[in-house]
Amino acid sequence: MAARDDAPRSPDRSAWTAGPVPISTAAEQVGTSARMLRYREGLGLLPRTQEQPTGRGHRHRRFTEEDLRTIATGLELEREFDIPPAALAFALRVLAEPDVLARVREHGERLGRLAAAPTRALDFDKQKAMRLLQDRRR
């Protein structure tokens, strides 16, 4: 797929500063803006902070090299699949929340884009096994 014109550029990982860095430096190092990092953080696309926030009167988050690698991986996924950050955030939500996954799967089946899950026979065998176990307990 073609890359979007507004897509962040690939980061030069060799130029990353060692040690925790503030958001402005982190954004520069991964090839985006501090505003877009804050947006991605609101979507749940940034790793939980390992470093304690610093600053007088304000708590400023600092990004480790591992944080930068994780952020860069997310940006690469967005670029490779030509998707906005919100789409990646939703994909992660689908993977993390079984109820959301079930609803999306059902919609995909109704659209004909997904085959019905072949668990019907397994459900029958499971129910039969549960009945046999209950009968033995009596």
Residues 70 and 39 both lie in one domain = yes
Q: Is the pLDDT of residue 16 over 70?
A: no
Residues 60 and 110 both lie in one domain = no
Counting residues of the chain whose pLDDT is more than 90, the rounded percentage is 54
Provide the CATH number for the domain around residue 35. 1.10.1660.10
Residues 113 and 78 both lie in one domain = no
pTM: 0.67
**C-alpha–C-alpha distance, residues 80 and 85, integer Å:** 12
Q: What share of the chain is helix, strand, coil (3-state, %, to 5)?
A: 60, 5, 35
Q: Give, in degrees to the nearest 5, the angle at Cα 89 between 28 and 97.
A: 145
**C-alpha–C-alpha distance, residues 86 and 37, integer Å:** 13
> Any residues with CB less than 8 A from the CB of 39 and at least 6 apart, and which?
85
The total number of structural domains in the chain stands at 2
- Average of per-residue pLDDT across 67-83: 95
Within a domain: residue 56? yes
Range of the domain at 74: 15-83
Q: Is the pLDDT of residue 88 over 80?
A: yes
- β-bridge mates for residue 130, sequence order: none
- pLDDT score at 5: 46
